[in-house]
Amino acid sequence: MKKLAGGAALASVITTTSAAHAGEAVADLVEEVAPSVVTILAERSLKEVSANGNELRSPDNRSFDEFFRRFGAPENFSDRSNRGAPSLALGSGFILEQDGLIVTNHHVIDDANEITVLLHDGREFDAVVVGQDPQTDLALLSIKAGEPLPFVQLGDSDDIRVGEDVVAVGNPFGLGGTVTTGIISAKGRNIGSGPYAEFLQTDAAINKGNSGGPLFDMEGNVVGVNSAIFSPTGGSVGIGFAVTSNIVDLIVDDLRDDGAVDRGWLGVSIQTMSPEVAAAIGIEDRKGALVSGVVAEGPSDGTIEIGDVIVAFNGEKVSDSNDLPRLVAAAEAGETSNLLVIRDGAEKALKIEVGQHESATLAQPPEETEKASARMLGVTVAPLTETARSDIGLDDDATGVVVTSLAPNGPAARSGLLVGDVIVKFGEEKISTPDTLKKALQKEDGDPALVLLNRRGHQIFVAVELA
C-alpha cells in the first residue's frame, strides 16, 4: 500500500509539473504572437427607416447559415435609437507582413464606410481594403504605419492533427487581447458556407468579436482564421470553426495580386455518392465525385461524361464532392489539368483546359401542367413545356418531365425526389415525355434504378428502389 501511495504521489508531482510546463509554453507563445494580433473597427451607416417604421440595418446581422452564427460583425455598439447614426462592428485580424498587410474576415468589414485597425500597443490606423472574397469569408487590409510591424506566418493546416493544442487570440465582445486555448476537434469540416472553404473545428472558446482572428498551433504559426461558431445561445459552447491556413494562403496570394480571386472552372455538376447510388453504378468504393451534369460548351463538354466518377485532379485524390471544387478553384484559368475518372468500371485519364468560374443562379419551381401518372415510381409527372422551362430556369433545349406530385410513402419520395424536379434519364433511357417514362419503368430491371434529375438547373443522380 505504501508503494502504491508513493507511486500516486510521484504521478501527481509529474502531472503538476507537466501542467506547469504547458502553461509556460502557452505564455511564451502568447508573448511572441500577441503583438501581431489586431482589433478591427468597421463603421457602417444605418439604413433609413422603412415604410412600416422598422429600422433597416446594414447586413451585419446576417447569419452564417441556418445553424451557424457569425461573430464579430453582428455586434452593434451604436445608439440604435439614433436613426442614421453609424454602427460600429468589432472584429479581429492579424498582421501577415511587416509592411502592414492584415488578414480578417469578409463579414467583419463588409459594407463598411470606414475601417480602423487598433494595434496591440494602442496605436490606431485607417485601413484600406486590398481585396475580399465572400466565398471563403476572407478579406485583406493594408495600413501604413511608417515602420516595420510585428507579423506572424501561416502554418500548414494539412499537417496539424486532431487533438493537437491550439491557441486563439482576439477581441471577443470588444475585450481586446483575449487568449483562449483548446484542441483541434476535427478537420475538413464543411459547414454549408459554400464549396470553396474548408474548416478546422476547435473547442477553444471563441465568441463575437473573435471573427477574423488567428488560431495558432504551439509553434506560433497561424493554422486557421476564426470565422464561425455553432451556438444555440449566441455564446461559445465549444464548437468553433476556422478557415484553414492553406485556404487563406491561396486566397491572400490572389487578393494581393489584383484584389480579386480568380477561380478555375470545369463546367460540371457533381455529387457525393450514397451507398445506393454507388451500388446502382456498380462501384464498390464510394470515393470520388459523381458527375451529374456537364455544361454545354463548357470546359468539360465533349471530354467528361455524365456518370463519370472523378477520383483525382492534378494528382490530388478526390474523396468526395467537397474536395473537387477547392482543387479546381486553385487551378488557373487556361491551364491544362489532368483528371482521373472511372467510366464504365474502368479508369480513364483525361486532360482538360480549365475555364474561368462564373456564378450561376437558381430559379423557382414550375407551375403544374397536364398530369400523367407513373405508378411504380410513386410520382405524377407533366410534360416539360416552354413555360415550365422558363419557370425552372432551364435552357430551351432541356428535356425531361416535371414531377408535379409525390406519393408520401412512394419510392420516389423515399429516395429524395421533390415536386419541381425534372426527370432527365431513368436507367439508361432518356426521358422526353410522360409516356417515355412509363416505358422506361416497364423496361427497368435494376433495383435500385439510377435516375438523373434536373433540380432547378442543377443535375443530380438519385438511386430509387422501385415498388
Catalytic (active site) residue 92? no
110's CB contacts (< 8 A; 6+ apart) are: 59, 60, 73, 132, 134
Active-site residue (options: 36, 60, 106, 107): 107
At 35, is the secondary structure helix, strand, or coil? helix
Catalytic (active site) residue 337? no
Q: Distance of alpha carbon 20 from its chain centroid, rounded?
A: 39
Cβ atoms within 10 A of the Cβ of 123, count?
Answer: 12
What is the C-alpha to C-alpha distance for residues 422 and 402, in angstroms, rounded to an integer? 4
What is the C-alpha to C-alpha distance for residues 81 and 69, in angstroms, rounded to an integer? 25
Active-site residue (options: 58, 211, 231, 269): 211
Residue 77: name the closest of 103, 50, 48, 44 by CA: 44
Cβ atoms within 10 A of the Cβ of 120, count?
Answer: 18
Q: Are the CB atoms for 367 and 395 separated by under 8 Å?
A: no
Active-site residue (options: 137, 308, 323, 421): 137
What is the C-alpha to C-alpha distance for residues 333 and 335, in angstroms, rounded to an integer? 6
Catalytic (active site) residue 137? yes
What is the C-alpha to C-alpha distance for residues 307 and 380, in angstroms, rounded to an integer? 26
Residue 196: name the closest of 330, 45, 379 by CA: 330
Residue 265: name the closest of 317, 313, 198, 193 by CA: 313
Residues that are catalytic: 107, 137, 211
